[in-house]
Amino acid sequence: MRSLTMSSSQAAQYGRRRTALQASGLSLLILSFQTLGIIYSDIGTSPLYVLNGIWSTSGPAPSKEDVIGGVSAIIWSLTLLPLIKYVIICLQFGTHEGEGGTFALFQGLYPPKSFETAPTRDSLSVGMKPSKLNLKAPPQLRWTLLIWSLFGTSLTMADGVLTAAVSVTSAVGGIAVAKPSVSHDIIGISCGFLVALFLSQPFGTARLATIFAPITCTWLLLLAVTGIINITSFPGIFRAFDPSRAIMYFVRTGDYDTLAGVLLAVTGCEALFANLGQFNMLSIQISFSTFVYPSLVLAYLGQGSKLIVNGDYIITNVFYTSIPGAHNGPLFWIMYVFAILATLIASQAMITATFSLVQQLVNMKSLPPFRMVHTSDKVQGQVYIPAVNWILMIGTIAIVAAFKNATQLTNAYGFAVATVMFSTTVLISIQMRYVKHLPIIVALAFFVFFGFLDGLFWGAALKKVPDGAWVPLTIGCVLLILMTFWNWAKGLEDRFDGANRRHLSRFIVTSEKATTLYQPPRLPAASDDGSIQSADPLEKAGDVDATYYCMVPAGGDEGGEPSEVRRELGRLPVLAVFHKMAHERGVPHSFISFIRQWPALPRFVIFLSVNVLPIGHVTLADRYVVDKIDTVPGFYGVSYYLGFRDEFEMQMDEIVKRLSALEARLNPTDAAELIKQLEAVASTSTHVVPHYDVQSRKLDVGRLSPIVNWIRAFLIEDLYRRLCVMFPETVNWLASADEIIHIGVNARI
């Protein structure tokens, strides 16, 4: 094989391109401002419901010391988790190009096999320095950490449902303070807002995103201003900065369950880390530490002050009753409007994040290939997934309608948040040891300290399972089972494909060798008068003819005798693209089945392998690597590289251009005719993909064999096979259905 690769200077340029976004000066300030509309809409709407999550609206008002202790717990939770854990520490663990999030952490520990085995001549291997990515993370922990990260990921998607339900309902509920007569219509009004939000998803978020940041900025400023005004009613609330007040509160009351309410103050922590790839570490650190964190602290201090002064009245709805001025005054309605806008932005951010997350999981073969619609030609990651959108809408509205009690909603919300935070702590601790190569004592110290905090919150949230937390737990378990099942079944199918490969030289043979530049042999066809003419108008006189044969079992059955016979092949004037696994050698099984079912050899053949790398995005310049296969003229190998957040968008024109450049480099004087023929058939390229008719093979596990084999057959033949038909792998390809040939393959896996 001969390949078209990058020069060392090009490789160096790739290494520079695939780094985190760099900004300084005014650009950094603008970038920091833009983070407000994307990252902080979730944590920024927490003041709507946190204090009522600690002290129920139907219960008595807490004492002064209890309020100070509760607010102290909120302040120090904001300080230790979002500020120190995520903003200062976790943001340091982005990928090479600055991507963050739970799934990115796992991909950093266990890069895909196709990337680990990439040849050193590959330009991407040079740019990404695979020696540093091929880590020494314990292989025996791979499945354990995969399931753990998938569980955290599934709860993040459950968070997408609960964020919309909790935040919108809490914001709309404020109307009952000013208009008690419409208190019974809160559920209906909330559902109306949510339906409108989900119906708008097909239009994309590009236009809305331009106004997200100013709205969130104004909302946070309103929180800070109202907080400062409220603090003047009881300045003694500043004693909440003493952490002993929080400790003494739990010692005095023994109310461990209160932590489940405090947890609501740090919802949205994961967004700080997961959205790292859209911004950079410094912009997030600046915006949170200098603006978001102070605004939230002032808001909670102000609410605590009003709760101490007017406890029995304020406890009914801490946020709205603590707004300064009259309940029908202008400030109240300004806060009400911006509260609804902020919660819709928070819901939109989580919905978009769920779409992006599903895209990652589909790329990594952890979910069936849902149909995706990209709503922006400029912004990567702005994707709309119809099936997921409607599932989210139905789930959100069902939860709002079923959980008419806001306390039950917040119980469900907190459990998902606590579990995802603990999942991140575990993966960061392992990355400290195996990626950053820090001393093991540092990794243990991080795990013990933050694992203890996360464990406290998780334990408190777990106790709320009977009171609503069973909802995200159920959603997470269902999604985890689906993703684990799909990983397992897809892995069996891929292993079958790899085990049934053959070397091209042992399958295709020729009667003679062409000694000059390859010209495709003629495919005879009878004319009307019975004479034999060339079927291909592109062929020229003087072509070198060679007869090609494929080797088939003597009995004509793939499962027959080991002996083989030759079957003559014609040539077709087409460009055929056969899809193959990235890390397996040999020709794909679909090629062998195609030749045996239809004994004709395409003029040009591309064996395409799709490689999903442990980085978010791959630029067009680095997306394709082409090889020339010398065994049969006109055969090529193409490696197609994607980041785990990239869309599948194979551009045949780009591939043909690179193949032409490769031929021109290898045969500078004689390649013109071949390039002309290649370009002539490129517009009619045909994709050949295998359609596996999967069957479960029998296992011998002793006395349990009948039960195990029945369960296995049910999972593979009844579930997996049907899901493959419902969600074909070609659903997101740009090629039309007429350009795709499905080759049936009996696969016993």
Confidence of residue 289 (pLDDT cuts 50, 70, 90): very high
Token readout for 323 is 């707004």
- Rounded average pLDDT over 85-111: 77
Greatest Cα pair distance in the chain: 106
Q: Judge whether residue 675 has pLDDT over 90.
A: no
Residue 324 DSSP class: S
Distance CA 300, CA 50 (A): 9
pLDDT digits (tens, 9 = 90+) for 158-174: 877 777 787 788 777 77
At 516 the pLDDT is: 34
Q: Judge whether residue 531 has pLDDT over 60.
A: no
**Which candidate, 340, 399, 49, places its Cα nearest to that of 193?**
340
- Rounded average pLDDT over 129-144: 62
Distance CA 613, CA 108 (A): 10
Residue for token pair 């690179």: 658
Confidence of residue 537 (pLDDT cuts 50, 70, 90): very low
At 67 the pLDDT is: 94
At 113 the pLDDT is: 54
User: Which of 37-41, 94-98, 301-305, 332-336: highest mean pLDDT?
Assistant: 301-305
Q: Judge whether residue 718 has pLDDT over 80.
A: yes
Lowest mean pLDDT among 11-25, 233-247, 304-318, 544-558: 11-25
Q: Judge whether residue 9 has pLDDT over 60.
A: no
- Rounded average pLDDT over 405-419: 70
Residue 312 amino acid letter: D
pLDDT digits (tens, 9 = 90+) for 206-234: 555 567 889 999 999 999 999 999 999 99
User: Which of 440-454, 495-509, 544-558, 642-656: highest mean pLDDT?
Assistant: 440-454
At 307 the pLDDT is: 94
Q: Residue 254: left (phi > 0), alpha (psi -120 to 50), or beta?
A: left
At 349 the pLDDT is: 74
Token readout for 351 is 């919905």
Comparing 637 with 381, the larger pLDDT belongs to: 637
At 218 the pLDDT is: 94
CA distances from 362 to 372, 486, 490, 578, 624 (A): 10, 10, 12, 21, 21
CA atoms within 13 A on the CB side of 288: 29
The share of the chain scoring above pLDDT 90, in percent, equals 19
Q: Using CB atoms within 10 Å of the CB of residue 470, give its burial: 0 to 12 exposed, 13 to 18 middle, 19+ buried.
A: middle
Q: Judge whether residue 132 has pLDDT over 50.
A: no
Phi (first) and psi of residue 425, to 5 degrees: -60, -45
At 298 the pLDDT is: 96
Q: Judge whether residue 279 has pLDDT over 80.
A: no
Residue 593 amino acid letter: S
681 within 8 A of 574, measured Cβ to Cβ: yes
- Rounded average pLDDT over 77-89: 93
Confidence of residue 14 (pLDDT cuts 50, 70, 90): very low
The share of the chain scoring above pLDDT 70, in percent, equals 79
At 510 the pLDDT is: 78
Cβ-Cβ contacts under 8 Å for 190 (sequence gap 6 or more): 168, 169, 172, 400
Q: Judge whether residue 27 has pLDDT over 60.
A: yes
At 182 the pLDDT is: 65
Comparing 491 with 528, the larger pLDDT belongs to: 491
Give the containing element (helix H, strand E) for 524.
strand 524-526
Phi (first) and psi of residue 81, to 5 degrees: -95, -70
pLDDT digits (tens, 9 = 90+) for 144-158: 888 888 888 888 788
Comparing 523 with 683, the larger pLDDT belongs to: 683
Q: What is the mean pLDDT of the chain?
A: 78
pLDDT digits (tens, 9 = 90+) for 60-80: 889 999 999 999 999 999 999
SS (H, E, C) 329-372: CHHHHHHHHHHHHHHHHHHHHHHHHHHHHHHHHHHCCCCCCCCC
At 173 the pLDDT is: 72
At 665 the pLDDT is: 87
Q: Judge whether residue 630 has pLDDT over 90.
A: no
Q: Judge whether residue 529 has pLDDT over 90.
A: no
Comparing 14 with 396, the larger pLDDT belongs to: 396
Q: Judge whether residue 513 has pLDDT over 50.
A: no
Residue ranges of domains in the chain, CATH in brackets: 2-122+142-465 (1.20.1740), 500-522+543-748 (no CATH)
Give the burial string for 295-306 (b: 16+ CB within 10 Å, else e). bbbbbbbbbbbb
pLDDT digits (tens, 9 = 90+) for 461-476: 887 777 777 888 888 8
Confidence of residue 133 (pLDDT cuts 50, 70, 90): very low
Q: Judge whether residue 4 has pLDDT over 60.
A: no
Confidence of residue 415 (pLDDT cuts 50, 70, 90): confident
- Rounded average pLDDT over 81-86: 94
Q: Judge whether residue 639 has pLDDT over 70.
A: yes
At 210 the pLDDT is: 62
At 81 the pLDDT is: 93
